[in-house]
A = this chain, B = another copy of it.
Amino acid sequence: MSKTDFSHHREKAEGISTADILMVHGLVVTMDHQFRIFEDGALAIDGGKIVAVGVTEDVKERYTGRRIIDARRKLIMPGLINAHTHAPMNIFRGFADDLSLNEWLYDYIFPLESAFVNPQNVELGTRLAIAEMIRSGTTTFNDMYYYSDVMANVVDDYGIRAILTHALLDKPVHNGSTVKESLQFAEQLISDWRTHPRIDISVSVHAPYSASPALYQAAKSLADRYGAQLHTHLSETQWEFDLISEKYGHTPTGHLHNLGVLDNNMVAAHAIYLTAEDMDLLAKHDVGIAHNPQCNMKLSNGTAPIPELLKRGVRVGIGTDGVASNNDLDLFDEIRSSALAHKLVTGDPTVMDARTVLETVTIGGAHLLRMDDRIGSLEAGKQADVIMMDLSRPHAWPHYDVYSLLVYSLRGSDVEMVMVDGRILMEGGRLTGIDVEGLYDAVQSVRRDVSHWRDSRGLGRS
């Protein structure tokens, strides 16, 4: 090596930092404020955070990487955010389909949960759900279930990001035999986990038909005390709308307004049956909505008026709900269904255009969960929750618009690399930290028990 070469090398190195990971030559979709897209883009990641994003040539002038990932024919984007799910229910996938709502809930799901929800099955279901979520590009999920201390340990172990909670009902189930004990458990969860870098704890109340005014107010007070989110189901069915209207003289939304719990820390799932006044109330109090289009269609509950809510400036994210009513956790599937359902219901093919729909699962979901300072877009300073998708498969060719490609043509199975806080959880389509075979055996065992229980009750389909 000549002296000149050496000095050149030193000169260049002086201006160049070494990041943990440098991804180069990918199609980078940032979802930032300007919706920047870099056709030949790069991302530098260091210490779990994004430190640079831009044109490959520019980023390479400032960064090299301890590891360099060639992203040619790949698409790089923020990890997806599931705004509403019940992860442990994954062990119940496809248990009861194509039934009327009441039959589904009261003859199948509630008895099933009574029989099989315990810490061991919650742990298994959560593991299974996280494996499925990572495989299809989800890096954050907002959950509502029971035994959330068990769930938190799994989330800690598997490396995904989550907001967990203990669901409160008038008739307490699990982790407490009285409402008071349940509230204590909910509070304990917050103290135990709130400093975890990837786990947030919310307070949650099941729904206006299953929780009293007093419980809503106690939960709201607990949430406010800790600066936590208040997660609830709201106005999911015509039945609920009618029941609450009759019982309290207000719509479900009006009822919660009267209780003084509509606020900017509330995340309300479903929100299908809304009057114009309800929508104004939600906007005025800055309540966020978790939209679940596939579950709502599958149970014939309708379609939330998302275009109307977006017009009013309401924050909207998108969720899968649990797999007992979906039956998967694939958010690519969910956003495509969202676009299609709204175009069908409104009769206007221009509503919920591809970019708008993609926002609900990225930066919009982050806004909904008040995490937009940390995640939801590819920007320097944010946590490195990043996914990389394979564009080398025929269904990805050609593309004339990146958002159309993502919403209408790509799918969860095109995700081949996933990282959270810069830690790679899947690579080359393989989960790096999950014993999939062990999971499979455990799931088969639960499946046998559940099937036996179902058959003994005469609930089998054929």
A interface residues (Cβ-Cβ under 8 A, vs B)? 90-91, 93-95, 97-101, 104, 128, 131-132, 135-136, 294, 296-300, 302-303, 323, 326-330, 333, 336-337, 339-341, 343-350, 353-354, 392-395, 397-401, 404-405, 408-409, 411-414, 436, 439-440, 443-444, 446-447, 450-451, 454, 461-462
Choose from B94, B328, B395, B397 the contact partner of A400 (Cβ within 8 Å).
B94
- A300-B346, A454-B400 in contact; A128/B394 too (CB < 8 A)? yes
A307, chain B: closest CB distance, angstroms: 12
The complex is assembled from copies of this chain, and their number is: 2
Q: Are A394 and B447 in contact (CB under 8 A)?
A: no
CA distance A95 to B401 in the complex (A): 7
Residues of B within 8 A of A408 (CB): 94, 97, 298, 326-328
Residues of B within 8 A of A436 (CB): 394
Q: Are B349 and A398 in contact (CB under 8 A)?
A: no
- A97-B353, A354-B97, A413-B413 in contact; A344/B300 too (CB < 8 A)? yes
Q: Are B343 and A300 in contact (CB under 8 A)?
A: yes
Q: Are A99 and B299 in contact (CB under 8 A)?
A: no
CA distance A136 to B414 in the complex (A): 13
CA distance A395 to B97 in the complex (A): 16
Centre residue among A333, A337, A443, A446 by max chain B CB count within 10 A? A337
Select from chain B the residue with minimum beta-carbon distance to A393: B135
Select from chain B the residue with minimum beta-carbon distance to A350: B98
Q: Are B340 and A98 in contact (CB under 8 A)?
A: no
Select from chain B the residue with minimum beta-carbon distance to A94: B404
Choose from B98, B337, B339, B440 the contact partner of A349 (Cβ within 8 Å).
B98
Residues of B within 8 A of A461 (CB): 401
Q: Are B135 and A395 in contact (CB under 8 A)?
A: yes
Q: Are B409 and A411 in contact (CB under 8 A)?
A: no
A88, chain B: closest CB distance, angstroms: 13
Residues of B within 8 A of A447 (CB): 397-400
29 contacts between A and B (CB under 8 A): A93-B399, A94-B399, A94-B405, A94-B409, A97-B353, A97-B404, A98-B349, A98-B404, A104-B349, A128-B397, A132-B395, A294-B340, A296-B344, A297-B344, A298-B339, A299-B349, A300-B343, A300-B344, A300-B346, A302-B347, A303-B344, A323-B409, A333-B336, A340-B341, A341-B344, A344-B344, A392-B440, A400-B450, A413-B413
A395, chain B: closest CB distance, angstroms: 5
Choose from B93, B294, B300 the contact partner of A397 (Cβ within 8 Å).
B93
